[in-house]
Structure 1
Amino acid sequence: MTPEVVMDIFADAFFLTMLMVLVIVGPSLVVGLIVSMFQAATQINEQTLSFLPRLIMTIATIMMAGPWLITRFMDLFDRLFNNIPYLIG
């Protein structure tokens, strides 16, 4: 196994990790920004007001994008496991 192959595998895994984080956390960040702007405009300083919409958005995002993310994850590991003989030898 050459260093280039190791770096390609690492790059694929890192890209998938960043994609998963972006898909799950991105919408909740947008909702948090909107709620924060609402709180700043109305001068409501309640911590739970920003937590619940972000939690609901994160759960909804996981429910909607979860099957796609799991498919991408399984594709990466299927490719890794199927290429083990080529990577070793």
Structure 2
Amino acid sequence: MSPDVVVRIAENTVYMILILCTPVLAIALIVGLLVSIFQATTQIQEQTLAFIPKIIATFLAILFFGPWMLNHLIDFATSYFNQLHRYIG
């Protein structure tokens, strides 16, 4: 396996990580922003108020996007195992 192939695999892996993490992180960011706006307008500075909604939103996002993420991950792994099989065998 040449260094170019290894670099391409690393690039595609990082790209796949970004694709898989984006929906969950975006939802956590939006919920965190909404909670921060709520805290600023009501002047409530409770730490659990910022933490608990993000955990719940992240969990729900994983439940909702989980099958999509798993399908992409399986396709990604299958394609790289097939490529590895071509290089080895």
Q: Secondary structure at the match of 1:56?
A: helix
For 2:34, the equivalent position in structure 1 comes to 34
**1:44-83 pair list within 5 angstroms:** 44-83=44-83
CA shift at 1:88, angstroms?
3.5
CA shift at 1:7, angstroms?
1.3
TM-score, normalised via structure 2 length: 0.90
Deviations 1:16-57 (A, max 9, x none): 111222221110111001110110111101111111211111
> Relative contact order, CA 8 A, sep 6+: which one is greater?
1
CA shift at 1:82, angstroms?
1.2
Tell me how large the CA RMSD over aligned residues is: 1.3
Identity percentage of aligned residues: 38
Count of equivalent residues: 89
Structure 2 CA distance for aligned equivalents of residues 24 and 10 of structure 1: 22
Q: Which amino acid aligns with 2:17?
A: T
For 2:25, the equivalent position in structure 1 comes to 25
